Every structure is written in structure tokens, then in C-alpha cells.
Chain A
């Protein structure tokens, strides 16, 4: 039982990270109906921005408190990732908006390759380690919970609440939801649709950057190929939860995190990805629009 709870805690931690990345996929899909394949690499870029910030911080100041370091790392990561995602949307997706549906998908894959190669060339292909930032581990009735895990879950909850508020309670969020439903009509009501879409990309990137910083803090390493696997997992999470749905993305992320860690604990670690994707396939057979996705109703 203790083992089970321990694995559940690990799964929730991992799932929180997936969930935060998945929000970016699901928001962009919701508003312009395309999959931003470069989103996973934006996450990786966020991790690298945090890593470089950490190295600079430790080089300049001999002693930095961990809290300050984490906040600065996160802020720089958010800034860099937002800037990149905004630029990508501007140069690779916006000019193709009137084009056929596959065109921005292809440029998205291209942007993903560009980003990971750029990091590989500039930062080198090897794993970049950083020292353990947060090392406290608490023992709760025989289950060890590290402060890192608590931090990740708390930050996820805070970010999700902030996002929920932004999307559901502000004029910006209202404009985003309106644009999502009928872009042309939104424009006719005076909403600057292009700017709303840009802001959506920036918001998604900000969450991915926070996830990247958490990932770096949790595992202590970053490598240029990090964008791929967590990116694919987060995308899977978005589809599993119902693409286009914000709570769905978080739920999907948590489920995938749990499946992964529980499967590795009780069965074989080699087959954890097989398990994840099998469950995705099974869910999609019975609920094609995902767990919380709205089924598409065609009006005749």
C-alpha cells in the first residue's frame, strides 16, 4: 500500500508537468485549430533558459537563496519562451492562416526541428546538469515526499487557478473564447483576432516555461532532445483529456503521469510508453473527443 501511494505521488508530480505543457497544446488548438508541434521544444527552451539563468546567477553572486534563484529562473524562462513562441507564430503560422490546414502543421514540425537543432548547436548535445536545488525530503507515514514534488504540485495549482481566472473572468479570456468559436464574427465585433491569437501563444509558452523550470529542478538535467518525449506525452495528455478543453488537459496530464509511474512500478518500465498509448487508443475508441472534450455536433 505504501508503495502504491509512493508511486501515486510520483505520478502526480510528473502528471502536473505534463498537464502544464498540455495546456499550451490545447489552447492553441482551441483557438486556431492547429497542433503547435514546436510546443514541446518551447518547453525544452524554457528549461535551458532556466539553466543558463541559474549558471549566471551562481557565477555573479556567490550565495543566492533558492527561492530567489527559482523565481528569477522562472521569470527569465517565461520571458524567453514567450518571445520564441510569439516569433514562431508570427513568422511561421500567421502567414499561412488562410492556407490549407496541413500547411501550418508542416511549418510547426519544421520549427520544432529548428529549435531543437539550435539548442543542440549552441548548447552542445550532452546532458547539462545543475546541482540539486531543493533537497529536503519529508517522511509521511513511511512515504517519502520531497519538497520538490510539493513545489511542483503547488505551482501547478497556482498557475492553473490563474489561468482559469484569466480565461473565464477577464475580457481577454472572453475574447479568446469568442475567437475560438467564430473568428470572423469576433473580428466583426471589433476584436483584434491576430493579437488575441498571439496572446494565446504567449500564454501557452509561459506555462511551458514554468513546466520546463520545474522539470529542470526535478531531474537536475536538461538536454536538447528533452522537447520531444515530454512534448509527445503532453500532446497525448491533451488528446486524452479532450483537446480544446483546459481542465481536460490537466486531467489528461495527471492520468498519463499516473499510468506511467504505476505501470513502471508494477509491470515493466520498458513498456510504460506502450501502456500510455494503449490507454489513449482505448479511450479514443469509446470517447473519440476525449474525456472532457465536447463532441462535435454537426448542424444540418
Chain B
């Protein structure tokens, strides 16, 4: 496994008015690995994703993406569709965002829009029936079929995407992101709301993506069993600051992480309890 860096987040700070969602955060995502971003609710994980995929412009700091061919893209300066088209970063969402009115197959073809547009001479040549376009659209359908097979959705290809079950929608969203041919795939809580069997299928799909396409993965996850099982590298956030960074085993035994997940020290717990009794007493009186 080569360990060169694909995504480097350096000193990123994101403020919303007075709220500091991410504070001076730096971490690396290495090529060919699964990196997990974990932390309690409100730690700023999704904000990191939004900065990486151009939803937000960080108040400070740099996010650089190094592609296989050596091109370096500064993601914090890019917007919208260029993140996917030029920087080759794709993402999925916590609340699934499929094109529910389009069929499953169309969802995957939309993701290959740029390839098809170029091949069809921006539709004009395609309408005139040029050969290049027919070949390209055949290749696009073949690619879509490949991902449908991997996501185990081949028999649902012509159904509207909105009719799929929750687990299937999640797999379709990942398949769609992969159809854009990304080098880095960001997954926002891919296992949320899945039952144990679906969760297992998901792990298999993600491992398969890594093994076969070399696409590096960055994922946010709450389900610790998923994180510990599939990730090679874990970054832990709390209140927008990095508190731990290392292999799953290292992170699991880090006292700071345990404190963040299980709560505060004993003395502070007593303080809090006292305060609560005080307040309830006052209310009764």
C-alpha cells in the first residue's frame, strides 16, 4: 500500500458569525486508504466535508488535493461542479440525495454527463447520429451496469430511484458517486439507518471499491463497529478541534477519545448533579 497523501487539510478554520465550527484543523488522507472522521454530534465533521466539496469556503486554511497524475488542486478556491470535474472529488450525503424522479440507471448516467457531452459534441453531433456518441453512450451504460452489479441493483435498473429501499438507495448513491470516476470519495455516514446485514454489504462494497479502483475514501461514521472494522486511519474531532489521529487501535485507547465519547471526569459529574438538584429544589419551592 503506498502512503502518499491525496488530501491535505492544513490549518482550516470555519466560522459562522461567532460560532467556530472547525478550529485550526489539520490532517492528511492517504492514497489507497480508508480514513474515518469521527467525533460526537456537533463536532464539525460534516462542516469539514462541506469545506472539502465546495459548499463552504473555509474562513482560513488550505485544502489541497493531489491527483494520481500529480496535479494539485486547491479545493478551498474551487466551487461547484469543478470540484468533481477537475479535482475528481465525489461525495454522498447523510440524508440521501438521489434524483428520485429519474430511474436508477439514469441516476448513474447523469453522473457520466461530462463524458457523454464531450462525446456527443454537446448534443449536436449526437443528434446527427455520429458514431463516437453511440460508442460513448454504450460505454457509459456498460459502466453503469458494472456499478449496478456491484451495488446489487441490476434488476432494479429501470425503476424510479425513489422506489428503492433505504439501504438500496444508499448503495445507489455510492454507485452514482463512483460513476463520476473520482479519486477521492467522501461518504457522510454511509451506515446510518442500515440494519446489520445491510451494513455488512456496505463494508464489502467499500472495501471492493478501494481494492479495485484505487479510489481513496474519507468517511464520517458514528457506528464504531464499522469504523474499527474497515478504516485504516481514524481522525477524531471534538468541538471542531482534532483530539486524536492514528490507527483504529491507537485511537480506541486514547484517553482523550474515551473522555469525549463517554463524558467528563467524575468531579465534574458531581458538579452537574448538584446544579440539577438545586434547580429542581428551587422550582418546587
Given contacts A170-B126, A177-B102, contact A187 B81 (CB under 8 A): yes
Residue on A with the closest CB to B118? A171
- 8 Å CB contact of B113 from A174, A182, A184, A185: A174
- B78-99 residues with Cβ-Cβ distance < 8 A to A are 80-81, 83-85, 90-91, 93, 97, 99
CB-CB nearest 6 A-B residue pairs: A190-B84, A171-B116, A190-B85, A187-B80, A187-B81, A178-B110
Q: How far is the CB of B128 from chain A (nearest CB, A)?
A: 12
B109–A189 touching, CB < 8 Å: no
> Does B99 lie within 8 Å of A192, measured CB to CB?
no
Interface residues of A in 165-197 (CB under 8 A from B): 166, 170-172, 174-175, 177-178, 181-182, 184-193
Partner of A186, one of B93, B110, B123: B110
Q: Give the residues in chain B near A170, CB-CB below 8 Å.
A: 120, 123, 126-127
Contact yes or no, B117 A172, CB < 8 A: yes
Task: Write out the residue numbers on chain A whose beta carbons fall within 8 Å of the beta carbon of B100.
Answer: 181
Residue ID in chain A nearest B177 by CB atoms: A189
B220 at the interface (CB under 8 A from A): no
What total of A-B pairs shows CB separation below 8 Å? 79
Query: Which residues of A are found within 8 Å of B177, using beta-carbon distances?
Result: 189
Tell me whether A188 and B90 are in contact (CB under 8 A): yes
- Cα A185 to Cα B97 in complex, Å, equals 7
Complex partner residue of A171 from B93, B101, B117, B180, CB under 8 angstroms: B117
Interface size for chain B: under 10, 10 to 19, 20 to 34, or 35 or more residues?
20 to 34
- The residues of B with any CB-CB pair to A shorter than 8 Å are 53, 55, 80-81, 83-85, 90-91, 93, 97, 99-102, 106, 109-114, 116-117, 120, 122-123, 126-127, 137, 176-177, 180
User: CB distance A190 to B180 under 8 Å?
Assistant: yes
Contact between B99 and A182 (Cβ–Cβ < 8 Å)?
yes
Across the two chains, which residue of chain A brings its CB closest to B124? A172
Least CB separation from A185: chain B residue: B97
Overall SS of chain A's interface: helix
* Known A166-B123, A177-B101; further 16 A-B contacts with Cβ < 8 A: A170-B126, A172-B123, A174-B102, A174-B106, A181-B100, A185-B97, A188-B83, A188-B90, A189-B110, A189-B113, A190-B84, A190-B114, A191-B81, A191-B113, A192-B81, A193-B80
* Complexed CA–CA distance, A192 and B83 (Å): 11
Given A187-B81, A188-B90; A181-B114 close (CB under 8 Å): no
- Partner of A182 from the list B85, B97, B111 (CB cut-off 8 Å) is B97
List 30 interface pairs A-B (beta carbons < 8 Å), by A numbering. Answer: A166-B127, A170-B123, A170-B127, A171-B109, A171-B113, A171-B117, A172-B117, A172-B122, A174-B106, A174-B109, A177-B101, A178-B99, A178-B113, A182-B97, A184-B55, A185-B99, A187-B80, A187-B81, A188-B81, A188-B84, A189-B110, A189-B176, A190-B84, A190-B111, A190-B113, A190-B180, A191-B81, A191-B110, A191-B114, A192-B85
A177 vs B98: C-alpha distance in the bound complex, in angstroms?
Answer: 12
A residues less than 8 Å from B120 (CB atoms):
170-171
Distance to closest chain B CB from A172 (angstroms): 5
Residues of A in contact, count (CB < 8 Å): 20
**C-alpha spacing A178/B97, complex, angstroms:** 11
Minimum CB–CB distance from A177 to chain B (whole Å) comes to: 6
A182 to B84, CA, bound (A): 16
In the bound complex, what is the Cα–Cα distance between A64 and B109 (angstroms)?
A: 47
Give the distance in Å from the alpha carbon of A166 to the alpha carbon of B120 in the complex: 13
Set of chain A residues within 8 Å of B127, measured between Cβ atoms: 166, 170
A188-B99 contact given A171-B117, A175-B110, A175-B113, CB 8 Å threshold: no
Which of A166, A171, A184, A191 has its CB near the most chain B CB atoms (within 10 A)? A171
- Say whether B116 contacts A181, CB under 8 Å: no
Write the nearest CB–CB distance from B175 to chain A, whole angstroms.
12
CB-nearest residue of chain A to B86: A190
Docked complex Cα distance between A171 and B116 (Å): 7
Complex: how many Å from CA A182 to CA B97? 8
A192 and B80 CA atoms in complex are apart in Å by: 8
